Amino acid sequence: MGTSTDAILTYGYNLGNDDEWKLEGAGEYGGYDFTAHDWYSEDGGTDLVESIETKLLAAHGFTETDWQVDGFYQRQTEAKAAMGVEVVTHCSGDYPMYVLAAKKITASRGDCEVVDFDALTRETVEGGYDEKLRAALTALGLTPTQDRARWLLCSYWG
């Protein structure tokens, strides 16, 4: 079993991590109280990414929870695509950091991806990425310290 080492280019907001959240309301030492939000749950093994995803899916009308119902995963996948944003985990599995992103391009170790920034700029505008990200942040009640959505280059080792 190998270790993945990926380069990840995202368009969105750097949310930070447990050591230093990049959110308004973070404490003096970077801590943030997610329990102040009704969507965050520490119960039953639900993590931050899953809590965010569940809230955003609900904001887009997908509230199903019974994965045993026929077609659940297909409907969930379609709802995620319609949402137009995702939480991208970077850094490592043991030390996760997060970006709320409307676009993600990954280059795995040994791969080389062409990045056409002219096309991405058009896609950003035509795809309404800024609006989707703002809607997600509003639904979550989060305000990043980053002034606006930007292209962010990060890595993942794991």
- Identify the pLDDT of residue 46: 60
Distance separating alpha carbons of residues 122 and 119, to the nearest angstrom: 5
pLDDT at 130 over 80: yes
pTM, two decimal places = 0.91
pLDDT band of 37, cuts 50, 70, 90: very high
Residue in the structure block whose two tokens are 């520490």: 42
Tokens of 142: 């989060």
pLDDT at 1 over 60: no
Exposed/middle/buried for residue 82 (C-beta within 10 Å: 0-12, 13-18, 19+):
exposed
| 46/147: higher pLDDT | 147
Distance separating alpha carbons of residues 123 and 77, to the nearest angstrom: 21
Residue-wise pLDDT tens digits, 65-95 = 888 899 999 999 999 999 999 999 999 988 9
pLDDT band of 44, cuts 50, 70, 90: low
In this structure, of 19-23, 57-61, 63-67, 101-105, the range with the lowest mean pLDDT score is 63-67
Tokens of 150: 């930007």
pLDDT at 114 over 90: yes
Cβ count within 10 A of residue 130: 15
Distance separating alpha carbons of residues 49 and 98, to the nearest angstrom: 9
